[in-house]
Amino acid sequence: MTQQSHPAGDAGRRKQPGRPDGSGVPDLPDRVAKIYGDLDLSTVPAFAGGFINFGYWEQPPGADRPLTVADRVRSEEDLYRLVLSAFDRPAGRTALEVGCGRGLGCALALREFDLGSVIGLDAHPDQIARAREANAALLANGPTPATPGSPPAPSGALTFVRGIAARIPLPDASVDCVYSVEAAQHFRELTGFAREATRVLRPDGRLALTTFFARGPEAARALPELLPPYADGLDVPHVIDEAAATLADAGLRDVRVRAIGDRVWASYDRYMAQQPELRDEWPRRYLRAYETGLLDYYVLTAEAPDGGGGAGEGGSAATAAASTAR
For the entire predicted model, the pTM comes to 0.84
Q: How far apart are CA 117 and CA 202, in angstroms?
A: 15
* 42-84 confidence digits (pLDDT tens): 888 788 888 999 999 998 888 888 899 999 999 999 999 999 9
* Mean pLDDT to the nearest integer, 310-316: 40
What whole-number distance in Å separates Cα of residue 231 and Cα of residue 143?
44
| Alpha-carbon span 318 to 180, nearest angstrom | 24
What CA–CA distance (Å, rounded) separates 189 from 55?
Answer: 24
**Do the beta carbons of residue 75 and residue 267 sit within 8 Å?**
yes
Q: What 8-state DSSP symbol labels residue 308?
A: S
The most confident of 152-156, 205-209, 321-325, by mean pLDDT: 205-209
| 311, 82 contact by CB (below 8 A) | no
Which pLDDT tens digit goes with each residue over 285-308? 999 999 999 999 999 999 999 864
Question: Can you give the pLDDT at residue 279?
Answer: 60
pLDDT at 2 over 50: no
Cβ contacts of 35 within 8 Å, gap of 6 or more: 6, 8, 22, 41, 234
Element (H or E) spanning 243, and its range?
helix 240-249
Report pLDDT digits (tens) over 234-278: 999 999 999 999 999 999 999 999 999 999 999 999 999 988 776
Q: CA separation (Å) from 157 to 78, 89, 130, 143, 146?
A: 22, 18, 18, 7, 15
For residue 159, give every residue at least 6 positions away whose Cβ sits within 8 Å of its Cβ, in sequence order, or none: 117, 118, 119, 120
**Mean pLDDT score across all residues of the chain:** 85
